[in-house]
Structure 1
Amino acid sequence: MKTNRPQDRLHLGRKISYGLPAFALAMVGIPVYVHIPKFYTDVIGVNIAWVGAILMGVRLFDAFSDPLMGVVSDRTHTRMGRRRPFMLWGSVGLAAATFLLFVPPHVTGFAAIAWFAMTIVALFAFWTVVTVPYEALGPALTRDYTERTSLFAWRDGLLIAGTLLAAASPVLIEGLQGNAATAAAQRQKFLWIALLYAPLLIGTCLWCVLRIREKEDGKESSTTLTISNLRSVGRNRPFWILLTAYMIGALGSNLPATLILYYVQYVLESSRADLFLFLYFASGILMLPAWIGVSRRIGKKNAWLASMAINTLAFSGVYFLGAGDEWAYAVLVVISGMGFGATLALPSAIQADVIDYDEFLTGRRQEGWYIGIWSVVKKLAAALGVGTGLTLLGMAGYTPGQVQPPEVIQTLKVLYALVPSVCNAAAFAIALAFPISPAIHRRIVESIALMKQGREVADPLKT
């Protein structure tokens, strides 16, 4: 039986329309994850330990709100569908929260801490409202193995493009400003970023909502937390293998994202952090089409493993660098970035196949439930990575704008390079056990079709 039915094929325009919100979310996400912590510690004057604790707390709260959003999205019925209303109206709140976080008032002390806490909570709350339905929308658009790989490649390619532009735009703005090192210039830079990015969020989500039509494919389930739900998730062995590998890898990858500005300034003693970010993401987006071709030849799992190996082996060398090693760092960043795009796109495509296997086990489509769990893990990893990284840096004796003592330098090197490399190596070892190949996925889809005809079929993973 063929799985590439005409209704499963997606035109290029639909793939791009689906991917555009990821472009805008990346444009906002890079400043939030990379620049905002250092902006609030070094410019606004919030203690680094407070920034780390607030970020950890809000990400923990945010993580557990994701399954609830998945439940609400799965059970929503409107003329616009289950996912699109949240994407549309949530983007408005997210744009407002972004502006308020990026453009704080001139306050100090407790008022600055409170402003940071309130605005970052609002931002991540609306982020959940947008992203959980958005990610749940993708797997329902097509069931074809190759089409899904292409769909998520376009989405994550646009995400990386947004990341690339987000990395480049601070450099461009600072170039126009002249003296960008002052606090006033930094505030002005973030004002321009907010004015550019906030409308982009609303516009791309609106375009996606208008251009994408949801498919009500499969029998909808009750997605409340029940024993039945837990049993079905517990039986989905491929999901747990994928989730565990992804969580450990994400835990490692969140540390460099948070600490790169500190590492470049205080370990390399360089002012070119934004250039290095650009090189990393540029190599990632340029290599992404090649990775998609590789995944079609050897399967998504094997391509993912290869990308993790390249990313990890190159990045581990960063631990051994020191002051003045800009060229060596640039080379390692480019090589590491070659694997970056695939480590983003392929787990998402693999996750969609895992959701198909859940439908075989339960007879129900539960994208929102699985995406919610996935988001919990992703945000728990982010909470631990961001909170632990900044808190340990503060405990080591970090002082903004000063020459750092050896303890801080060594802590930065371990957290930025060594811990992520160990995490990625562990994730690689776990991912080796993932069982769904292209042939097995075809059997899963065929088995679902036969079950809908009332026929009994064997478990595709056991035949």
Structure 2
Amino acid sequence: MDSADAKITGGGATTAAYTSHQPLSLKTKILYGAPSFAGAAMIIPILINMPKFYADVVLVPLGFLAMAIAIARSLDALSDPLMGWISDHTHTRLGRRRPYMLIGAPLCGVAFFCLLNPPAVFTGGRAAIWFGVTFILYFVFHTIYVLPHYALGPELTQNYNDRSSLFAWRESFTILGTIVAAGAPGVMIGTFHLSQRQAYFRLGIFFGILVTVLYTLLVVTIKERPDFVARESNPLVPGVRRALRNRPFGILLASYVVGSIAGAIPATMMPFFNAYVIRPPNPDVWLSKLLVGYFGLGFLSMPMWVWIARRIGKLNTWLASFFLGISGGAAMFLLRPGDIHWLMVVICWAGIGFGAGLFLTPSMQADVIDYDELYTGKRREAQYTAFWSMLPKFIAIPSAAVPIAILASLGYKANHVQTPQVVFAIRAIFALAPATCSALSFLIAWRFPITQTIHNAILEGIELHGRGEVAVDPMTGASVPPPTPGHDEDVGWFLDYFSSGELKRYLARGASQPVRDVMRVATMSIAVSIISVIYVLHRVSSLRADPGAMISLIVVAGGLAFAIFVFHLMRLGPARRLAAGEVPADVVRAHLGQVVEAIREGTPERAVG
């Protein structure tokens, strides 16, 4: 912090007292961002190296790998909103975020080591079980620490440009960790002549310890802002509904969901594209070089993108970066065997664009959270972060698992020259699919409305609310009175357990209708989930036979159905309270009118008056 920063203590940590517009010190940015070095270094071998390692070295059938990936990522997506809600509602001496970093990081380090080091005696079915269990545990523990870490970022500063700088530092460490993890296997194998197992053993120990040390350092040196910790959080289900009515968030989320496909596919398919399409003389070494080139250019380009964003705005900068990814993906489809140096050029070109999205999207998301606070008076960083990550993860599940399953269905054979059909599938999936998704994501992002001027007006409105004065929504011109805690606001949040259609049916058909609506959807959802489980168990009754491509899609469908079931199960109690007449009919009608207005304007609605 700057020399003028006032010091406060609590929970065993000492740091500066933050204000909304006060720039963060370089020390704070580094301490916040450094843990991402280890986190990113762990995720790279898991998403890029492990599928091919388990397929070609441990000899696990591709269908089992695809199924395990789908199950693990489904559970990971389901745990995100739960972890966000838990973090937002936690009140300890350490705050809302730091306790979970202290718990989750070391557990994730252990799971990481186990995943990278399957017992040498395990092959086939037993190795598939080992992969599935450790893969699932890794992502569960990863959610426990990383979601509170990411939620902490928007709380540290509300300064428009300082947020870009903070997240640029975090993502710079992310890319540095990625570069190290991407290059380390190739260096160990090519220079020190280690086997893949020996290389992954050393990586597992080093990064498992490092992630624990860096997150512990963050916890003991950075204190959460006490004004944010003390703020009341909201119920989970109504919070989801209000987030979806936030038009800027909806645009940003939709663009990110579509764009996440462009990120998930290359991570899984690059080793296969390198080894079986380009076919360089030493695929493992060249894979490390390609990854270092991609992430290295992303890292080196970040100061340029920060400079551009300060001059033309976050959105215009983000839109400009899409061109590099789209053109790079299209160019890679044209490459043929032996074009390894051309592949390096195109990979580096695409990497420049990759660097922009890393820090711009979380910075823009933080601005969206401020807009939500203008209407609700609540800080919901973890919940927005959870919802931000949950939907893209569900979309990314088939993006990561289905390509592997497709290769298996087309006759992929480990460590062999592949058939023309398999080679074409690898080229199309790796190059054309991400380029198409990037183009669609660009078209969606074009409509994002929050500029620096609008964001400054949002913060001014929040300050007016703090003084009890009426603010103006800078995007719609609507007057926004300060949220007033009490009965009216509580009723508004309660009625947001229900959709507009459900409330209309309640008024038209009687008190028991909400319970029937909730039970019908919950029953259908759990039925789909159970059928999916039965189908999967039937197909994998023997670990000797590859379960095939369809199994991954069934797992995704079952995971989504179970998420819907849990969502509606949480609504059953409120539905019974509504059926008991807890809220008068005229209040329900007034709430419906405000919901219609909020949907039309794309804003979180105000409390029922």
Q: Note whether the superposition's TM-score is higher than 0.5.
A: yes
CA distance in 2, matches of 1:13, 1:75: 28
Report how far residue 359 of structure 1 moved. 0.5
Identity of aligned residues (%): 39
Say yes or no: does 1:420 pair with 2:430: no
Say yes or no: does 1:47 pair with 2:61: yes
Q: 1:94 aligns with which of 87, 90, 108?
A: 108
Q: 2:233 aligns with which of 211, 222, 227?
A: 222
Name the SS of the counterpart of 1:243 in structure 2. Answer: helix
Q: 1:394 aligns with which of 371, 392, 408?
A: 408
2:244 aligned residue: 234
1:119 aligned residue: 134
Give the superposed CA RMSD: 1.4
User: Looking at both structures, which has the greater relative contact order when contacts are Cα pairs under 8 Å and sequence separation is at least 6?
Assistant: 1
1:299 aligned residue: 313
Say yes or no: does 1:156 pair with 2:167: no
CA distance in 2, matches of 1:152, 1:432: 22
Say yes or no: does 1:206 pair with 2:220: no
CA deviation digits over 1:318-344, x for unaligned, max 9?
Answer: 011110111211111111111111111
Report how far residue 6 of structure 1 moved. 7.7
Report how far residue 226 of structure 1 moved. 3.1
CA distance in 1, matches of 2:295, 2:233: 40
Name the SS of the counterpart of 2:475 in structure 1. Answer: helix
CA distance in 1, matches of 2:349, 2:240: 41
AA partner of residue 177 (structure 2): G
AA partner of residue 440 (structure 2): A
CA distance in 2, matches of 1:100, 1:142: 37
8 Å CA contact 2:234, 2:378 repeated in 1: no
Q: TM-score normalized by structure 2? A: 0.73
CA deviation digits over 1:238-268, x for unaligned, max 9?
Answer: 0010001011111121100111011000000
Name the larger-Rg structure: 2
2:23 aligned residue: 9
Relative to structure 1, the CA distance from residue 321 to residue 71 in structure 2 (aligned partners, 3 Å threshold; closer, same or farther) is same
Report how far residue 167 of structure 1 moved. 1.1
1:442 aligned residue: 456
Q: 1:168 aligns with which of 171, 180, 183?
A: 183
Report how far residue 53 of structure 1 moved. 1.4
Q: 1:81 aligns with which of 80, 95, 103?
A: 95
AA partner of residue 232 (structure 1): R
Say yes or no: does 1:408 pair with 2:422: yes
Say yes or no: does 1:348 pair with 2:362: yes
AA partner of residue 260 (structure 1): M
Structure 1 gap segments, 5+ residues each: none
1:133 aligned residue: 148
AA partner of residue 195 (structure 1): I
Relative to structure 1, the CA distance from residue 42 to residue 429 in structure 2 (aligned partners, 3 Å threshold; closer, same or farther) is same
Q: 2:338 aligns with which of 295, 307, 324?
A: 324
Report how far residue 195 of structure 1 moved. 1.5
Relative to structure 1, the CA distance from residue 313 to residue 176 in structure 2 (aligned partners, 3 Å threshold; closer, same or farther) is closer
8 Å CA contact 2:233, 2:379 repeated in 1: no
Report how far residue 231 of structure 1 moved. 3.8
Q: 2:160 aligns with which of 120, 145, 149?
A: 145
Q: In proportion to residue count, which structure has more helix?
A: 1
Report how far residue 5 of structure 1 moved. 5.8
Say yes or no: does 1:57 pair with 2:71: yes
Q: 1:190 aligns with which of 200, 217, 220?
A: 200
Say yes or no: does 1:377 pair with 2:377: no
Report how far residue 176 of structure 1 moved. 4.0
Paired residues, number = 454
CA distance in 2, matches of 1:221, 1:414: 49
Report how far residue 186 of structure 1 moved. 1.4
AA partner of residue 388 (structure 2): W
AA partner of residue 242 (structure 1): L
Name the SS of the counterpart of 2:278 in structure 1. Answer: coil
8 Å CA contact 2:21, 2:158 repeated in 1: no
8 Å CA contact 1:156, 1:345 repeated in 2: yes
CA deviation digits over 1:369-394, x for unaligned, max 9?
Answer: 10110120232233121111111111
Q: TM-score normalized by structure 1? A: 0.96
CA distance in 2, matches of 1:325, 1:234: 45
CA deviation digits over 1:60-82, x for unaligned, max 9?
Answer: 11101100000110111111111
Name the SS of the counterpart of 1:8 in structure 2. Answer: coil
1:71 aligned residue: 85
